[in-house]
Amino acid sequence: MFLKSTAFLATTFLGARAAFAKLVDGGMLERELGNGGLPEGKLSLYNLNIGERLTVTYRNCFGEYCNDALQAINWIFRCHDTNETAEMDLRVIEYLNRLDNGLGGGNEIHIISGYRSPSYNDKLRSKSKGVAKNSLHMKGMAIDLAIPGVDLATIRQTALALAAGGVGYYPQSGFVHIDSGHFRTW
């Protein structure tokens, strides 16, 4: 809620485009904004665990977010084990959108894991050493994904080139992890 309030105030007082660039990635998009505009924030999502699809425009070309669309995104990224939702971090949503655009745009992104409730994260940790105790999934800051027809190595390379957060590569499990934490790879 604080992030949304901050975004609203920033767009009101600073202008939507400049505020968006600073809010999302500390100004990395200023080149795009200076070149005449910002592409709309659009995503096509399919959650493999719950069998639901969503195609949504969550941000217009002026950097203004649609609250109903963000709520729909939160719902499709919900924990499939508990059905709990969390507010997904706008930075990871924007990272996902930039990743999709870097791969040509309009891809149906398959969600392997979005938000995880603490109880579900603990359940996964009991079965695998590869699940972090303080996973960013529990904060709505991480997404595990695959894109049909796009090689995982290509997704990984595109995410690395964006350097917008963490990038984990899990070819044996069939997904790439992205998050809005600091840039790191594994």
The pLDDT of residue 3: 44
Considering the domain boundaries, does residue 8 fall inside one? no
Kindly indicate the confidence band of residue 34, based on its pLDDT and cuts at 50, 70 and 90. very low
Considering the domain boundaries, does residue 86 fall inside one? yes
Q: Which helix (H) or strand (E) holds 19?
A: helix 16-25
Considering the domain boundaries, does residue 163 fall inside one? yes
Query: pLDDT tens digits, residue range 48-61?
Result: 999 999 999 999 99
Q: Which of 138, 132, 141, 89 is nearest to 118 (CA)?
A: 138
**Residue 106 domain boundaries:** 39-179
Kindly indicate the confidence band of residue 37, based on its pLDDT and cuts at 50, 70 and 90. low
* CA-based end-to-end distance of the chain: 31
Is the pLDDT at 180 greater than 60? The verdict is: yes
CB atoms within 10 A of CB 38: 18
Considering the domain boundaries, does residue 135 fall inside one? yes
Share of the chain above pLDDT 90, in %: 75
Number of domains in the chain: 1
Beta carbons of 113 and 76 less than 8 angstroms apart? no
Considering the domain boundaries, does residue 11 fall inside one? no
The pLDDT of residue 71: 98
pTM summary value: 0.81
Over residues 70-83, mean pLDDT: 97
Find the radius of gyration of the CA atoms of the chain.
Answer: 16
Considering the domain boundaries, does residue 47 fall inside one? yes
Considering the domain boundaries, does residue 54 fall inside one? yes
Considering the domain boundaries, does residue 3 fall inside one? no
Higher pLDDT residue, 67 or 22?
Answer: 67
What CATH number has the domain bearing residue 53?
Answer: 3.30.1380
Query: pLDDT tens digits, residue range 131-175?
Result: 899 999 999 999 999 999 999 999 999 999 999 999 999 999 999
DSSP at 113: E
Kindly indicate the confidence band of residue 130, based on its pLDDT and cuts at 50, 70 and 90. confident
**Is residue 156 helix, strand or coil?**
helix
- Cα–Cα distance, 163 to 185 (Å, whole number): 10
Q: Which of 89, 94, 56 is nearest to 72 (CA)?
A: 56
**Is residue 154 helix, strand or coil?**
helix
Kindly indicate the confidence band of residue 102, based on its pLDDT and cuts at 50, 70 and 90. very high
Over residues 99-121, mean pLDDT: 97
